[in-house]
Every structure is written in C-alpha cells, then in structure tokens.
Chains A and B, each alone.
Chain A
Amino acid sequence: MSAPPTVELLGVDVSHPSAPANILLEGVDWQIASGEFHVVAGEQGSGRTALLVAAAGLSRPAAGTVRLFGHDLAAASESEQAEWRQRIGFVFEHGGRLLSHLTVAENVALPLQYHLGLDAAEAHGRADALLDASGLSAFGAVTPSRLSVRLQQRASLVRALAVPKDVLFLDNPLSGTTARGGEWWLDVLRRLQAERPAGEPPLTIVATCDDFGPWLELATHFALIEGRHFRPLGGRAALTEGGDAAVRDFLSAVRWASRT
C-alpha cells in the first residue's frame, strides 16, 4: 500500500498527562490504516487514556514520533496541526467532558460555529437535528450536569462528530454501560463505518476498553497494554483462538454469552 498509515506511532514513550516525568508506556509502535477499527485493552491506570491522547496528537509524547495522515506532528506548524485536528474526533471517558457552562445543544453547535462559521440559528438547527438522530433531542436544552454520565457520553459522541471526521478516538466508551447501552454504542459505530458518504475516505475508529468481548464482532485489530508495553495482537483470529493468559484476562465471555 502506498498510502501512509492514518495514524502512526514510532518508538513513542507515553507519559502521564499531569506528570510528564512518569512514563507509563515505553517504545510504542503502532500503525493504524484508513478504515480500520482498532481496540486496545488495558487496566485502569495502565496508560490507555494517555496512549489514546498521544495517538490523537493532543499531547506531546516524552519520546518518539507521532504521525497523523502521514505528517510528523512535532515538525508541523500551528495552522497545519489545527487543520489535521479538525479531521479527528475524540470522546473522553466518564462523561465525555462536555463544557459545563453550555447546554448540550450549545456544546454540539460549538464546533459548527467555530470551524464552519455557521450563524447561531443554523448551527443550533443542525445541532438539534444531530441530537434528534441520536435519540437525545429531549436533552438539548439542559446543561450536562443535569444528565447521567452515560447520556453525557453519548452527547459527547454527537459533538465529536458534528463536523465530519476521518478518525474517531473513543476512550473506553462502554465503561459503566449496561448490555443495552453497549448495544447502542456498537450499533452507532457500525452504522458510522457502513454509512459513509460516497467520496469520503473510510472512517477509522480507535477505541480503548477493559474487555474485548463486546468488540469481537466489529473491530478489525486488537492490542493489549501489558505492564509498560504496548502489544499488538493482530486480527480477530488471534483472540478467538484463545491466546495466552494475558489476552484471556480481557475476554470475559460471561457478560456477552448471548452475542457469540
């Protein structure tokens, strides 16, 4: 393939965001091509969030190179970085970090107004339509603190995708969801990849999790955080054929028995 990977990490050392001296992962080598669906499993505190933030180009790694769309981030100018950032969506864990002083609809309208220059009426119209399509129209006019964390997380997804994106990063979106809530997320992600408008590059999805189970059907590539190392596992076959104890640790078959 002559096209460079959409996201590439070369020899990256990932450190804790608020303590740059504390290295969580060493020597991460990771290639994510366009249209792939990557899932990374790791314990809480293992550095999976920091890894995702580094891969999305939102933080500078302690060492190594991060490439987005084939371009080296560290060597790029502010305006170039801003351009690539606009093609990347990020959904944070634990409620998605919606802006607390704005309503949910205003949160979704913000990137529309800032990047696309839409006026208030048009932006809010589009935001309402997007929320409607996600079943969140009843919550558009309230501030995020009035919603449950799970609904905030969904609204955060809508906000991340308000302006069309080429890559979507999700930090443990299924944490704290019930089986039904998890279904919602998997259905939405499946539809997002399948219903891509013609002429647009395929959507690349990168997610972290603490259990591979729900992701077995959808994801194309799996990886594991073992201690301070990032270990790519390969495709679905690597998981369904058992694998070692570390892999099995992240495969809890009980919860998702009905899906297999």
Chain B
Amino acid sequence: MDAAASAPPSTGLLETTGRQILRGTELIRELGAFALIVLAVAVSRLGVGRRVIRPLVAGQIWSGGVRLLPMIGFLALALGLVIIGQTLALLTTVGAERYIGIVMVAVVVRELGPLLTAILVIARSGTSTVVELGTVRALGEIEALESLGIDPIHYLVVPRVIGLATAVFCLTMYFVVIALVGGWLFAFFRDVPLKPADYFGQLAANLRWEDFALLFLKTTLFGALIGVVSCYHGLARALRVEEVPRVTTRAVVESVVGCVLLDAAFLAGYVFA
C-alpha cells in the first residue's frame, strides 16, 4: 500500500503535493472498495444469522448513540444559546428579530446540527472502533470467525455501519430539537420580545419537508461513512501497538474531512436546487 515509500522522497513542493494527491486517490479507491464490499455483504447476507446480527446492531446503536445523549444534549443547549445570543444581538441592531427563525433553521437544522453530531460520534465511536477492530485482527479472531463459517465483515463491520448510521440520524434529531429549544430559552431569559408562538411559527414556516428528507439522507450517510472509515483502518493492516494512536488519528481526520466534503455536496444541492 505504501508504494511511494521505497523511492527516495524528493522534497520539492510540487513533488510533495503530487504524492499527497496520489495517496489521496489511492485512499479514496480503497475506502470506496471497502464500502462496496460492506454493502454487498450486508445485502447478500440479509437475514442470515439474524439472532446474532440484530443484537449486535442494537448494541452498536446503544454504544454509538444512546450513550452519547448527555453530551449531545449539553452541547446542543450550549450551542442553541450561543447562536441565538449572537444572532439576536445582531438582528436587534437592525430591528429584524423576527428573522431569528430562518437563521436557526438554516444554521442549526441544516448545517451545524448534523456536522457537530457527526464530529462527536467520530471522537467517541470512531476512535474506539479502530482500536477494537485492530485488537480483533491482532488476536487472529478474523480467521477464527471464518473457521466458524461466519463472514467477518458481516459480524464485525455491518452492525457497526448500520448502528452508526442510525445513531447519527437519531442524535442529530435530538440535537436539533434541544438547540432550538435552547435558542428560545435564551430569548425568553433576555426578555426579547419574541413570543414562543412566533418563534416556533417561524421555524415551522421555514422548514420544508425536503429538509427532513435531506437531513435523514445526510445524517445516515455521515454515520455510514464514519463506520466504513473507522472499520477500514482497524482491519486493513496488522497494527503494532505503537501504530495505534497514529492510525486512530488518521481515521478521525479522514472521517471529518469526508463528512465535510459530503456536507459541501449537499450544500451544492441546496443552492442549485
């Protein structure tokens, strides 16, 4: 995989950039291939070993999602207060308090909610997945699963990808609701002349059904991406103990970049649709 490692590295900026780009395309190809393999296994083994796989998926939703609820709740509240605070201060100067609803929808529901939730899930579940699967591989348990007639991808990766996709979606819903409520609470405590009916009315007016569909699509793709990237890095290579922190960091960075790029793609969809 490190094809460039054997040649003496030239240090020019152009050469370095070129090498990075080549590595990047190599990585995208490998991750893409892995994602397709996971999809193929998930589809072809649908219904196989249900009694084992379903509890595994539930367990992943629990550890990747439910256990993050307190942290997400706290961050959502804080964010809601902060955004509302800043925005209200700004809007008040131009007498446009009534536009607060649009801002909240555009910022929290469409962009910040999904992205921040994804980053939190990456930090918590992405890192632990790399370490868990790295350990599984190091202990030779992959061959053990094969010897039992169990597809290792079906047992190890599919539940994590499905679990994380579900978790990011549900956590984002939770995040958005709490952030919006937090926003209103701020307005309430600052005696801003914004009635709850007006606030939620604005929100309702600015939320279209496409927002929900796109939110579902975006968040599940975020979760699936996090699952694929972290499982890949855990399983792709035999990891020595000293390599684990570096590989974990790589997985985190790649997941974040992947989510941001996906977000940009959706933004393009919003702008041009």
| Cα A18 to Cα B140 with chains together (Å) | 11
Given B55, B143, B149, which contacts A115 in the complex, CB threshold below 8 Å? Answer: B149
- Does A97 sit at the interface, judged by CB under 8 A? yes
**B144–A99 contact, CB under 8 A?**
yes
Provide the residues of chain B in CB contact with A58, threshold 8 Å: 143, 146-147
Of the stretches A7-15, A117-125, A189-197, A247-255, the one at the interface is: A117-125
**A110–B147 contact, CB under 8 A?**
no
**A92–B150 contact, CB under 8 A?**
no
Contact of A110 with B148 at beta-carbon distance under 8 Å, contacts A119-B51, A120-B51 already known: yes
- Does A3 sit at the interface, judged by CB under 8 A? no
Given B141, B150, B151, which contacts A97 in the complex, CB threshold below 8 Å? Answer: B141
What number of B residues sit within 8 Å (CB to CB) of A?
Answer: 23
Q: Give a binary string over A38-65; 1 marks a CB under 8 Å from any B CB, 0 the rest.
A: 0000000000000001001010000000
A126 CB to nearest chain B CB (Å)? 13
B141 CB to nearest chain A CB (Å)? 5
Question: Taking CB as reference atom, which chain B residue is nearest A118?
Answer: B51
| Cα A114 to Cα B132 with chains together (Å) | 21
B130 CB to nearest chain A CB (Å)? 15
| Cα A111 to Cα B151 with chains together (Å) | 12
- Does A85 sit at the interface, judged by CB under 8 A? yes
Question: Taking CB as reference atom, which chain A residue is nearest B155?
Answer: A114
Provide the residues of chain A in CB contact with B238, threshold 8 Å: 18
**A100–B52 contact, CB under 8 A?**
no
- Does A160 sit at the interface, judged by CB under 8 A? yes
**B51–A117 contact, CB under 8 A?**
yes
| Cα A78 to Cα B43 with chains together (Å) | 13
What number of A residues sit within 8 Å (CB to CB) of B?
Answer: 31
Contact of A97 with B52 at beta-carbon distance under 8 Å, contacts A58-B147, A85-B149, A114-B150 already known: no
Q: Which of B50, B136, B139, B238 has the most CB of A within 10 A?
A: B139
Q: Give a binary string over B140-163; 1 marks a CB under 8 Å from any A CB, 0 the rest.
A: 110111111111000000000000
B78 CB to nearest chain A CB (Å)? 35
| Cα A120 to Cα B51 with chains together (Å) | 8
**B143–A111 contact, CB under 8 A?**
no
Question: Taking CB as reference atom, which chain A residue is nearest B154?
Answer: A114
Provide the residues of chain A in CB contact with B48, threshold 8 Å: 114
- Does B135 sit at the interface, judged by CB under 8 A? yes
B14 CB to nearest chain A CB (Å)? 34
* CB-CB contacts below 8 Å: B237-251 with A: 238
- Does B49 sit at the interface, judged by CB under 8 A? yes
B252 CB to nearest chain A CB (Å)? 23
Provide the residues of chain B in CB contact with A18, threshold 8 Å: 238
**B149–A111 contact, CB under 8 A?**
yes
Given A88, A99, A115, A160, which contacts B49 in the complex, CB threshold below 8 Å? Answer: A115
- Does B44 sit at the interface, judged by CB under 8 A? yes
* CB-CB contacts below 8 Å: B47-90 with A: 48-52, 55
Q: Which of B44, B52, B146 has the most CB of A within 10 A?
A: B52
Question: Taking CB as reference atom, which chain A residue is nearest B44?
Answer: A78
Question: Taking CB as reference atom, which chain B residue is nearest A97?
Answer: B144
Provide the residues of chain B in CB contact with A100, threshold 8 Å: 135-136, 139, 141
Provide the residues of chain B in CB contact with A89, threshold 8 Å: 147
**B144–A111 contact, CB under 8 A?**
no
| Cα A113 to Cα B51 with chains together (Å) | 6
Contact of A99 with B141 at beta-carbon distance under 8 Å, contacts A18-B238, A114-B51 already known: yes
Question: Taking CB as reference atom, which chain B residue is nearest A114?
Answer: B49
Besides the contacts A97-B144, A99-B144, A110-B150, what 6 more A-B pairs have beta carbons closer than 8 Å? Answer: A58-B143, A58-B147, A100-B135, A100-B141, A113-B52, A120-B51
19 A–B contacts, CB within 8 A, in A order: A17-B143, A78-B44, A85-B149, A86-B149, A88-B147, A96-B144, A97-B141, A99-B145, A100-B136, A100-B139, A111-B149, A111-B150, A114-B49, A114-B150, A115-B149, A117-B50, A118-B51, A120-B55, A160-B147
